[in-house]
Chains A and B, each alone.
Chain A
Amino acid sequence: MRNMTFISLLSLLLPVSAATAQSFHSGGVGSCNGCHVIHSSTSGPTQVLLQASDPSSICLNCHAGSGGSNSISVLSQDGSALSPGGDFYWLTRNYSWTGGQSPGYRHGHNVAALDYNLSSDPVRIKAPGGSYPSARLGCTSCHDPHGRSASGPALAGSGSYGDVTPPGAALGTYRLLGDVGYEAGGSSFGYSFNQPAPVARQSSTARYGENDASHVDYGSGMSAWCGNCHAGLVNNNHMTGSSSFRHPSDANQLLTPAVIDIYNAYVKSNDLSGAIDSAYLQFVPFERGVSDASQLDPVSRRGPGAGAKVMCLSCHRAHASAFGHSGRWDFTAELLADSHPAPADSGATSNDVINSYYGRDISMEFGTNQGQFCEKCHGGQLP
Chain B
Amino acid sequence: MKKNAWNHPYCLTLFSLAAVLYGAGTAGAGIKADFQYMLSDFSGPIPSQWARLDVDRHFREIYTFKRGERQVQIFNENGMEIFAFELQDNAAMVTDMTVGDDGSIYLLANRGGTPAIITLDYRGEPQGRIELSGLPPAMDAFHSDRLVHRNNSFYLLDSTSLRIMEVNDSGTFKTLHRLGVQLQNMAAEQDRERKRTQGLEIGGFAVDDQGVIYFTVPVLFAAFRLNQAGILESFGRSGSGPGKFGVVSGIAGDEHGNIYVSDRLRSVVMVFDHNFEFLGEFGYRGHGEGNLIVPDDIAVDGKAGKIYVAQAANRGVSVFRLVFQ
Name A's B-contacting residues (CB within 8 A): 1, 19-24, 26, 31, 33-39, 51-53, 57-58, 61-62, 64, 66, 68, 70-72, 77-78, 80, 92, 114-117, 156-158, 163, 204, 207, 349-351, 354
What is the predominant secondary structure among interface residues of chain B facing chain A? loop
Instruction: List the A side residues contacting B95 at CB < 8 Å.
Output: 66, 78, 80
Instruction: List the B side residues contacting A61 at CB < 8 Å.
Output: 247, 264-265, 294
A31-B194 contact given A115-B293, A117-B313, A350-B90, CB 8 Å threshold: no
Shortest beta-carbon contacts, A-B, top 8: A22-B187, A77-B68, A77-B67, A23-B198, A70-B160, A33-B238, A61-B264, A37-B240
Number of B residues near A (Cβ < 8 Å) is 49
- 8 A-B contacts (beta carbon < 8 Å): A21-B194, A33-B245, A36-B240, A38-B239, A61-B247, A68-B145, A80-B95, A117-B49
Contact of A20 with B240 in the complex, beta carbons under 8 Å: no
Segment touching A, from B26-34, B75-83, B114-122, B217-225: B217-225
For the complex formed, measure the closest distance between the CB of B233 and the CB atoms of chain A, giving whole angstroms: 19
Contact of A116 with B49 in the complex, beta carbons under 8 Å: yes
Query: Which interface residue of A22, A34, A62 has the most chain B CB atoms within 10 A?
Result: A22
Instruction: List the A side residues contacting B244 at CB < 8 Å.
Output: 33
Given contacts A37-B240, A70-B160, A350-B90, 14 further A-B contacts (CB under 8 A): A1-B286, A33-B221, A33-B265, A34-B219, A34-B221, A37-B265, A38-B239, A38-B240, A57-B294, A58-B265, A62-B247, A71-B201, A77-B49, A78-B93
Contact of B313 with A53 in the complex, beta carbons under 8 Å: yes
Instruction: List the B side residues contacting A158 at CB < 8 Å.
Output: 198
Contact of A31 with B238 in the complex, beta carbons under 8 Å: yes
CA gap between A258 and B244 in the complex, in Å: 61
A24-B199 contact given A77-B67, A78-B68, A351-B91, CB 8 Å threshold: yes
A-B contact count (CB 8 A): 131
Contact of A24 with B219 in the complex, beta carbons under 8 Å: yes
B246: contacting residue among A1, A20, A34, A70, CB under 8 A:
A34
Whether B197 sits at the interface, judged by CB under 8 Å, is yes
Instruction: List the B side residues contacting A38 at CB < 8 Å.
Output: 239-240
Chain A, residue nearest B245 (CB): A33
Contact of A116 with B312 in the complex, beta carbons under 8 Å: yes
Contact of A72 with B286 in the complex, beta carbons under 8 Å: no
Chain B, residue nearest A72 (CB): B199
Instruction: List the B side residues contacting A53 at CB < 8 Å.
Output: 313
For the complex formed, measure the closest distance between the CB of A117 and the CB atoms of chain B, giving whole angstroms: 6
Contact of B247 with A34 in the complex, beta carbons under 8 Å: yes
Whether B196 sits at the interface, judged by CB under 8 Å, is yes
For the complex formed, measure the closest distance between the CB of B177 and the CB atoms of chain A, giving whole angstroms: 18
Contact of B265 with A22 in the complex, beta carbons under 8 Å: no
Query: Which interface residue of A19, A37, A71 has the most chain B CB atoms within 10 A?
Result: A37
CA gap between A26 and B219 in the complex, in Å: 11
Instruction: List the B side residues contacting A77 at CB < 8 Å.
Output: 49-50, 67-68
